[in-house]
Amino acid sequence: MDERNHGKLSQGLERLSKAHVDPEELLDPDTVPIKNRGGEWIMPDCPSCTERCCLHPEPDSGILLSLQDVAHLVDSGHADLIVGTYTFKRNKRGKILDEIDEMPRLAKQDNGDCHFYESTTGRCHGYGVRPTICRRFPYEVSYKKKSGKAFTRFIGWSQCPTLENGEEHQESIRQMARDAVVDENVSFEDAVLLGEHVEALRQAGFGAYLPPPSECPAVPEPVATDAE
């Protein structure tokens, strides 16, 4: 179920992405194969889970939001659930780098549970607008050591109990794997747009989620051509 609105901010982001991100660098969610050990279909057993990924008791933990998540939350009327801004790393001399340091997070309840987590039912009541990372977890993209080819897999370190009869859930597993690829692409797009086009993002309406220009990476000077 996808109830995320694709409104003004999402459309602005899409335009920037088309202008600045090379599509050749993005993975195709429909062709990246799923490769679990032994060829197994591994499905998390969320109803019987006690280590729920929706609980974040540590103050610095929580669901990190991509630019696309921010845009969808704003467009879906949930701007109030976006906490914090993107920030950039600095080198030892204090120069601002084009690498993302902090990211905005999804709001939490006082006890650390995700804002959307309903403890009495153990369910997400924002399921239709949940961020991409929630859609793909516990699947991720990995790369083969020799060829560098991408594949998706169940995350080995996850605390998830799993269902015995995973094969019956092939369609849900395929969707999580596709969302893992989407999440990988979104991370790449964020690195390009935040690292190299932060002022264009500000103009597109992301200003509330960005630091002031003095704390953003310098925009590279356009390269002069012979004709100029």
Per CB under 6 A, residues contacting ligand SF4 are 44-46, 49, 51-54, 63, 114, 116-117, 124, 126, 130, 134, 137-138, 158-161
Q: What is the CA radius of gyration of the chain?
A: 19
Least spacing, CB of residue 176 vs ligand SF4, in Å: 9
Q: Which two tokens stand for residue 168?
A: 């019956």
What is the distance between the alpha carbons of residues 176 and 165, in angstroms, rounded to a whole number? 17
Q: Which two tokens stand for residue 74?
A: 């704003």
Phi and psi, residue 5, nearest 5° = -85, 140
Q: Closest CB to ligand SF4 among 72 and 197?
A: 72
Q: Closest CB to ligand SF4 among 28 and 45?
A: 45
Least spacing, CB of residue 171 vs ligand SF4, in Å: 17
3-state secondary structure of 140: strand
Q: Closest CB to ligand SF4 among 17 and 132?
A: 132
Report whether 217 contacts 96 (CB < 8 A).
yes
Neighbours of 86 (CB within 10 A): 22
Q: Closest CB to ligand SF4 among 86 and 137?
A: 137
3-state secondary structure of 174: helix
Least spacing, CB of residue 102 vs ligand SF4, in Å: 18
Least spacing, CB of residue 88 vs ligand SF4, in Å: 26
What is the distance between the alpha carbons of residues 190 and 209, in angstroms, rounded to a whole number? 13
Least spacing, CB of residue 174 vs ligand SF4, in Å: 16
Neighbours of 176 (CB within 10 A): 22
Q: Closest CB to ligand SF4 among 138 and 217?
A: 138
Least spacing, CB of residue 59 vs ligand SF4, in Å: 16
Choose among 219, 224, 182, 183: nearest CA to 20: 219
Q: Closest CB to ligand SF4 among 180 and 204?
A: 180
Q: For the chain, first and last CA: distance in Å?
A: 52
